[in-house]
Amino acid sequence: MCGIVAYIGEKQAFPILLEGLKRLEYRGYDSAGISILNGTLKTVKKKGKVSDLEAVSATIDTTGTLGIGHTRWATHGKPDDINAHPHNSGDGTISLVHNGIIENYATIKKALEDRGHVFKSQTDTEVLVHLIEEFKNQDNLDLEQAVTKALSRVVGAYAIVVVDKENPNQIVAARKSSPLVLGIGDKEFYVASDASPIIKYTKKVVYLNDEEIAIANRDGSFVVKNIHNEIQEPVIQELDLKIEQLEKGGYDHFMLKEIMEQPTTIAESMRGRINAEEGWVSLGGLEEHQQRILNAHRIIFVACGTSWHSALIAEYLIEDLARIPVEVEYASEFRYRNPILTEKDVVIAISQSGETADTLAALEIAKEKGALTYGIVNVVGSSIARVTDSGSYIHAGPEIGVASTKAFTSQLVVLILMALKLGEKKGTIPSGMLRELIYGLESVPKKVAEILEQKEKIKLIAQEIQNKPNALYLGRGLNFPVALEGALKLKEISYIHAEGYPAAEMKHGPIALIDEDMPVFIVATNVSAHEKIVSNIQEVKARKGVVIAIVNEGDNIISGLADFTFEIPYIEEPLTPLLSVIPLQLISYYISVMRGCNVDQPRNLAKSVTVE
């Protein structure tokens, strides 16, 4: 995934682009670059962070009121100065930035080389800008026409912004499968991969749809067309994001801010969707297709990473409470295995970003095979939100830290609401239990806040674990996916090898790993399997393993056995993942900080994987 920013208007473009790129660094940060048009085309680009780009830009004249910028997460060509974007045409008149993958770039590149084009980089993006140049010069087309013709030859995903030295009063932007937002100012336009670089200047935006091209002019006019040159009616939206949401809010890292704001974000994900007094739950997107979902042959979740973990928890809850068969699939596996699907199936995609390529591809297969598609997404206007038949936003607000935290708990809230609603409609949840669970759900924000108040205790546990080379996470039932999530958090931000396992599986292999140097996190809040968890802990202790147990308040049995214990407040068992994950998030955060890792932008990772 990469970040794109562009500007045309009366202000100086460079400072706008630089600040915008800094807001987008979470999308990709192995290199960055900017082009400014001011009679001449000046391009500066650099391996490294935006701050490195800022340093080298100090040596050149960056005045100009038209410019494009880019932060890169490499797909084709290693991260270096040459492969960084923007990429320019051979004649030096056109400059382009791109997020996505041109799958047929090699064929196009060969044809262009045969016509004398010379390439400097290994990227697919440079091929695209040369293709635009070819059509512009050979077919005597203007920028818009050349871009349209070039994109009709392209197979793959793109979000691009293109400028032409010979037409300095226009910006052309286009998207397919990668997000792009057009910000509309007073005789000025902003283009970006998401709203964060735009919100400071204007709240009026247009989210481009797939195969749409926006042509924005310095005189304040703009038009949106599709790839077939047909004019589209743009939907101008008013952003309700606040700029401070995008700041760190006084915390050292976005991840800590996002962990600490979970009482609020969990409450936001429930707002207008439950009422304990009156005993109801409501999920708008679900109700639109309620009958079809209630009568579904199967519900199939497709997701990746943390979103896949929340899907696993949904499987336990929906099957237990609503008695509808559920399957959970890694989207990346589902999309390639020619799955058996019919219109009697419901495919639910869970995705914080709404842009994960594998999840989008899995949805395309579901749509082709006639299944009902549903999205559980955080980013408003994202691709998954737009390609699904219906869906529910989780309302967690922008999640900037690469490691997902508040999005996970807000996904769980929506999935719990779904299980309760479906169970209520199917009559498989006794009304007393439904009301009890709704009351329990309403109490979650306060109980999460109680856990967060004990962050110093959690930090002490982190200190004991910070230098361990490996870690095991165990859980039973609903807590097995929580164990997986805890392991993913630790490995992705502290680079400690960690794996999650069903606790009962220990004896089938992992127990061979246990020694005094192996910390074993055990998520032990199950009431229904308590004695089994106790024996798992004893197995670990017998082999000198270090046990860190997450337990229910007052569980003196496990507290007496474990080396470290963290108690969560009482809550109904189906809701415990919302609480038991919190200490695991914080432990991973503190260990990452203690190990001097880049918490918000861990190595090799990006916030949303929009490539395969």
Positions annotated as catalytic residues are 2, 607
- Quick one: which segment of 157-165, 347-355, 471-479, 538-546 binds ligand AGP (CB under 6 A)? 347-355
Tokens for 493, please give them: 């931000």
**Shortest distance (Å) from residue 234 CB to ligand AGP:** 26
- Quick one: which segment of 145-153, 156-164, 199-207, 346-354 binds ligand AGP (CB under 6 A)? 346-354
Residues 481-500 that bind ligand AGP (CB under 6 A): 488, 492
Query: How many CA within 13 A on the CB side of residue 609?
Result: 15
Residue 14-53 contact track with ligand AGP, rule CB under 6 A, x = bound: ----------------------------------------
Residue 64 Ramachandran class (φ > 0 left, ψ -120 to 50 alpha, else beta): left
Nearer to ligand AGP (CB atom), residue 43 or residue 356:
356
**Shortest distance (Å) from residue 374 CB to ligand AGP:** 15
Q: Which helix (H) or strand (E) holds 507?
A: none
Rule CB under 6 A: say whether 351 interacts with ligand AGP: yes
- Between CA 482 and CA 354 the distance in angstroms is 22
Nearer to ligand AGP (CB atom), residue 161 or residue 311:
311
**Shortest distance (Å) from residue 491 CB to ligand AGP:** 10
Q: How far apart, in Å, are the Cα atoms of 406 and each of 172, 255, 259, 351?
A: 36, 9, 6, 13
Give the gyration radius of the chain's Cα atoms. 25
Strand partners, 375: 349, 391
Among 356, 536, 565, 610, binds ligand AGP (CB under 6 A): 356
Among 34, 154, 304, 417, binds ligand AGP (CB under 6 A): 304
Query: How many CA within 13 A on the CB side of residue 293?
Result: 27
Q: Which helix (H) or strand (E) holds 403?
A: none
- Quick one: which segment of 157-165, 288-296, 302-310, 494-502 binds ligand AGP (CB under 6 A)? 302-310
Distance in Å from the first CA to the final CA of the chain: 10
Residue nearest to ligand AGP (CB): 305
- Burial of 138: CB neighbours in 10 Å, binned 0-12, 13-18, 19+: exposed
Place of tokens 């007496």: 560
Evaluate the omega torsion of the peptide bond into residue 86 and state whether it is cis, within 30 degrees of 0.
Answer: yes
Residues 479, 526: contact at Cβ < 8 Å? yes
Nearer to ligand AGP (CB atom), residue 88 or residue 356:
356
Residues 455, 355: contact at Cβ < 8 Å? no
Tell me the site size for ligand AGP, rule CB under 6 A. 16
- Quick one: which segment of 133-141, 164-172, 349-357, 505-513 binds ligand AGP (CB under 6 A)? 349-357
Strand partners, 68: 6, 35
**Shortest distance (Å) from residue 359 CB to ligand AGP:** 5
**Shortest distance (Å) from residue 494 CB to ligand AGP:** 13
Rule CB under 6 A: say whether 561 interacts with ligand AGP: no
Residues 6+ apart with CB under 8 A from 508: none
- Between CA 472 and CA 514 the distance in angstroms is 9
Rule CB under 6 A: say whether 352 interacts with ligand AGP: yes
CA 523-602-100 angle, 5° bins? 115
Q: Running DSSP on this structure, what letter comes out for residue 245?
A: G
**Shortest distance (Å) from residue 399 CB to ligand AGP:** 8
**Cβ count near 47 (within 10 Å):** 19
Among 359, 390, 392, 410, binds ligand AGP (CB under 6 A): 359
Q: Coil, strand or helix: which one is 156?
A: strand
Nearer to ligand AGP (CB atom), residue 193 or residue 307:
307
**Shortest distance (Å) from residue 408 CB to ligand AGP:** 8
Among 3, 90, 305, 519, binds ligand AGP (CB under 6 A): 305
- Quick one: which segment of 24-32, 66-74, 256-264, 350-358 binds ligand AGP (CB under 6 A)? 350-358
Residues 376-415 that bind ligand AGP (CB under 6 A): 402-404
Residues 6+ apart with CB under 8 A from 60: 42, 44
- Between CA 350 and CA 309 the distance in angstroms is 10
- Between CA 362 and CA 329 the distance in angstroms is 10
**Shortest distance (Å) from residue 607 CB to ligand AGP:** 7
Rule CB under 6 A: say whether 610 interacts with ligand AGP: no
**Shortest distance (Å) from residue 601 CB to ligand AGP:** 11
Rule CB under 6 A: say whether 307 interacts with ligand AGP: yes
- Quick one: which segment of 298-306, 431-439, 456-464, 586-594 binds ligand AGP (CB under 6 A)? 298-306
- Following DSSP, what letter does each residue of 542-571 receive, concatenated? HTTPEEEEEEETT-HHHHHH-SEEEEE---
Residue 506-545 contact track with ligand AGP, rule CB under 6 A, x = bound: ----------------------------------------
Tokens for 467, please give them: 């230098």
Which stretches of the chain bind ligand AGP, using CB under 6 A? 304-307, 351-353, 356, 359, 402-404, 488, 492, 608-609
